[in-house]
Amino acid sequence: MRAETDTLPLPRFDHLVEMSTGLGMWEHAELLEPRPAHGYCTDDNARALIVLSREPTRSDALDELAATYLQFVLEARKGDGTFHNRRHHDSTWLDDDDSDDSQGRAWWSLGVAARAGRTPAARADAVAAFDDCAGFDSIDHLRPHAFAVLGLHDLLEVVPDHADARALLGRSIDRLARAAADADLAWFETRLTYDNARLPEALIAGGVALGDADIVDTGLDLLGWLVDVETADGHFSFVPAGGTVPGAPRPAFDQQPVEAVAMAEACHRAWTVTGAECWRDRGLRAVGWFLGDNDTGGVLYDTTTGGTRDGLMIDQVNQNQGAESTLAGLAALQLARTFGLDTPAADVNAG
């Protein structure tokens, strides 16, 4: 099955509204019901800010939600380039899980909001937050750097002479490029784990921002390798939640919506940079994973609620519709609309 843009559902935001309060978006759900006891996290509110900043549908309700998610991320700032992650349902911050990933995703969301926030005030507040970005780093992990690069790409489109942001972009791209250049590895790491397509996507985005065609080409090559590894019988067969090594038996489960949206967005970026139809086709195939174009035929996106089920299992679909999965489905369907447009290739020397 090849998904075409005129046959795909439009994203709807009913479940997003139900999962949100005046403070932010709950992290988990049992079926459709939010689970307040599990609280909030910056990871998911950053994802929600990205989704609504990119959403062209205008309404007061969506504007208010976007403002809530932005406020959540801004309140998570510690003032040294880092962020709190977990927040109790009574609004107090819990400092036992300030993961590096949440730091990178926070900067990613603020970069998207700086470029595409729903109001001028939101865009200005997001830009101002980058005064603290010089303090960001992740010593042991690549994905936080990849997430940050995606936000820095957007921020530098708005403020191209932001010295701290440009310096951070250079440091993060250097970390990713050195990992990609390891002669003993076909991939950045010995295992494929999670959000895998974000790594080559960051090289593509960072190469464009730096005007470095070699970095862009490296990202495209690695993304092509990942597409081949994660394709079976004409559809995407993503790595399981526990990760795997290249060449391991497939299919493997549980497969996660976050993996599918990462692939869809990476292919979309490759398409906008190169204009090559193969990337459009691959991106639409990744969107189709949510709608049954996968190893079991299970449908993850719920067209009646706008939620997305939490995982593709070997004999069923996880029926819970939590924040991470729901936002993954919405982001994928947002991309599907733009795949229907004629998008020119970007100038990699324009960064």
- The DSSP-derived string for 243-274 is -B-TT--S--S-B-HHHHHHHHHHHHHHHHHH
- Tokens 């062209």 appear where? 56
Token readout for 275 is: 């204009």
Identity of the amino acid at 314:
I
CB atoms within 10 A of CB 114: 28
Question: Looking at the predicted structure, is the pLDDT value of residue 96 above 90?
Answer: no
At 4 the pLDDT is 62
The whole-angstrom separation of Cα 115 and Cα 196 is 25
Query: CB of 47 within 8 A of CB of 110?
Result: no
- Give the chain's mean pLDDT: 94
Q: What does pTM read for this prediction?
A: 0.95
At 98 the pLDDT is 67
The whole-angstrom separation of Cα 104 and Cα 167 is 15
Torsion angle, CA of 159/171/150/106, rounded to 10 degrees? -90
Rg (CA), the chain: 19
The whole-angstrom separation of Cα 44 and Cα 102 is 9
Alpha helices (H) along 275-315 = 277-289
Question: Looking at the predicted structure, is the pLDDT value of residue 180 above 80?
Answer: yes
The percentage of the chain sitting over the pLDDT mark of 70, rounded to a whole number, equals: 94
Alpha-carbon distances, residue 36 vs 27, 29, 39, 322 (angstroms): 8, 9, 5, 12
Q: Would you list the domain boundaries of the chain? A: 1-11+181-351, 39-176
At 2 the pLDDT is 45
Per-residue pLDDT reduced to its tens digit, 24-60? 999 999 999 999 999 999 999 999 999 999 999 999 9
Per-residue pLDDT reduced to its tens digit, 61-84? 999 999 999 999 999 999 899 999
Sign of the alpha-carbon torsion through 83, 311, 268, 15: negative
At 187 the pLDDT is 95
pLDDT interval class at 341 (50, 70, 90): low
At 184 the pLDDT is 86
CB atoms within 10 A of CB 14: 13
Higher pLDDT, 184 or 106: 106
At 344 the pLDDT is 40
- Which among 252, 105, 55 is positioned nearest to 17, based on CA atoms? 55
The residue ranges of DSSP E strands in the chain, in sequence order, are 29-30, 33-34, 40-41, 86-87, 93-94, 231-232, 235-236, 311-312, 317-318
Question: Looking at the predicted structure, is the pLDDT value of residue 346 above 70?
Answer: no
Please name the fold of domain 1-11+181-351. Glycosyltransferase (1.50.10)
Mean pLDDT of the 154-164 span: 98
Question: Looking at the predicted structure, is the pLDDT value of residue 200 above 50?
Answer: yes
Question: Looking at the predicted structure, is the pLDDT value of residue 3 above 60?
Answer: no
Largest Cα–Cα separation, the chain: 53
The whole-angstrom separation of Cα 104 and Cα 46 is 10
Mean pLDDT of the 104-128 span: 98
